[in-house]
Amino acid sequence: MNTASAPATDESSLSARETVKALCAYVRPHRWAVALGLLCALAGAAGGLLQPLATKTLVDRLATGDTITGILIALTALVLLGTAIEAFGAYALERTAESARLSTEPTARRTGTVPRQRAAVTGPASVRFEDVSFRYRPGLPYIHQQVSFEVPGTGMTAFVGPSGAGKSTVFALIERFYEATGGRVLVDGKDVQDWSLSELRSAIGYAEQDAPVLAGTLRENLVFAAPGATDDDIRDVLARTKLDTLVERLPHGLDTPVGHRGSKLSGGERQRIAIARALLRRPRLLLLDEATSQLDAVNELTLRDVIAEVARETTVLVVAHRLSTVTGADRIVVMEAGRVRSVGTHEELTAQDRLYAQLAAPQFLTSSR
């Protein structure tokens, strides 16, 4: 997928520069009072410091009016300083109230395990698109036009369609990399715009089309998005993605380097590592953009089993490029030129949708059957 250079930013991460700018904006109307107050305070302080050094007695000073002038200056300074402090205080209060309104980042549990969902929200997530239209930028053509579909909080849903139909873009909108131009995208019945970005993202695991496996060890590749994962967590996920036998074969197990971009691994293993990495974060919704490259028969069928197994506990959405994936799907959404053309099972669609029947022919969807 075009892992979109995500333009959306978390509202909770105001930069220091923005903070200083906001502070300046608040103080600007009071700037003369603040400056004068500071000047008078300095003058008063200097007068106070120098007074003991002066030769005149206090009585002399009172008689000549010097001390009264000094007292007046000091009072003025106090009043103006008060104004400045009030301005800063009001600003501080405003910022405190503002930060109290901001959503908080999900925090890792201190038990040493990976971050989990909040207790109130558990189980597989549901997804709904309601008349979604979308274009990447004003002036560009619409990529989605009145896209509607519903995915209940269970099972596996496959998205199928010609290249450029807008399948990966569906995922980009669910993850809120981009905002729908029209209509609504809902996760768990709630508009993604109303989710805190960090909460939304922590509910979603995403294994992208060209799953990046980096130089480094297998362990490093697995845990970089879930640094709190324990050995038990890793063992569990390796078993679910059928990578445990691979780890047994590797000379240093999990601590074996996998080569530049995972060159010592097969395409199927890389894809499963991407799934394992996503599962370590215990998502309630797994988005899997299948790699278009050919897998050998063993890897393809293993991948199918892994997806079916994960779909038992997590809602799984797959952009499918393999026949073995679509035949195992609970429902298939067929997309064409930014529209949903039909929804059904493999058998229903093969009988009813000519485009799907063509797409599902082995020469289009890759198949090792």
Ligand X SMILES: Nc1ncnc2c1ncn2[C@@H]1O[C@H](COP(=O)(O)OP(=O)(O)OP(=O)(O)O)[C@@H](O)[C@H]1O
- Nearer to ligand X (CB atom), residue 116 or residue 341: 341
Q: 3-class DSSP state for residue 219?
A: helix
Structure tokens at 70: 């000094």
Residues 223-262 that bind ligand X (CB under 6 A): none
Residue 4's binding partner, choosing from ligand X, Mg ion, none, with beta-carbon cut-off 5 to 8 A by kind?
ligand X
Q: Is the dihedral of CA 195, 197, 202, 207 positive or negative?
A: positive
- Does 271 contact ligand X by CB under 6 A? no
Residue 123's binding partner, choosing from ligand X, Mg ion, none, with beta-carbon cut-off 5 to 8 A by kind?
none
Q: List own/partner pairs for 35-41 with CB under 8 A and 24 or more apart.
A: 36/80, 37/77, 37/79, 37/80, 37/81, 37/82, 37/83, 37/84, 38/80, 38/81, 38/84, 40/73, 40/74, 40/76, 40/77, 40/80, 40/81, 41/77, 41/78, 41/80, 41/81
Q: Which residue has the tokens 């892994």?
A: 306
Backbone angles phi, psi at 365, to 5 degrees: -80, 135
- Nearer to Mg ion (CB atom), residue 77 or residue 143: 143
Shortest Cβ distance from residue 332 to ligand X (Å)? Answer: 14
- Nearer to ligand X (CB atom), residue 44 or residue 166: 166
- Does 166 contact ligand X by CB under 6 A? yes
**DSSP class of residue 312?**
T
Ramachandran assignment for 242, one of left (phi > 0), alpha (psi -120 to 50 degrees), beta (any other): left
Shortest Cβ distance from residue 270 to ligand X (Å)? Answer: 17
Centre a 10 Å sphere on the Cβ of residue 139 and count the other Cβ atoms it contains.
6
Residue 223's binding partner, choosing from Mg ion, ligand X, none, with beta-carbon cut-off 5 to 8 A by kind?
none
- Among 48, 65, 164, 227, which residue interacts with ligand X (rule: CB under 6 A)? 164
- Build a one-symbol-per-residue string for 3-32: x at contacts with ligand X by CB under 6 A, - elsewhere: -x----------------------------
Shortest Cβ distance from residue 198 to Mg ion (Å)? Answer: 25
Q: What are the percentages of helix, strand and coil residues in the chain, rounded to 5? A: 45, 15, 35
Do residues 258 and 265 make contact, with C-beta atoms less than 8 angstroms apart? yes
- Build a one-symbol-per-residue string for 116-155: x at contacts with ligand X by CB under 6 A, - elsewhere: --------------------x------x------------
Q: List own/partner pairs for 48-56 with CB under 8 A and 24 or more apart.
A: 48/74
- Build a one-symbol-per-residue string for 155-194: x at contacts with Mg ion by CB under 5 A, - elsewhere: -------------x--------------------------
- Among 167, 176, 201, 277, which residue interacts with ligand X (rule: CB under 6 A)? 167
Could you give the angle at which helices 31-50 and 66-101 cross, rounded to 10 degrees?
130
Residue 163's binding partner, choosing from ligand X, Mg ion, none, with beta-carbon cut-off 5 to 8 A by kind?
ligand X
- Nearer to ligand X (CB atom), residue 167 or residue 277: 167
- Nearer to ligand X (CB atom), residue 4 or residue 308: 4
- Does 325 contact Mg ion by CB under 5 A? no
Residues at the contact surface with Mg ion, assessed by CB under 5 A:
168
Residues that bind ligand X (CB under 6 A): 1-2, 4, 136, 143, 161, 163-169
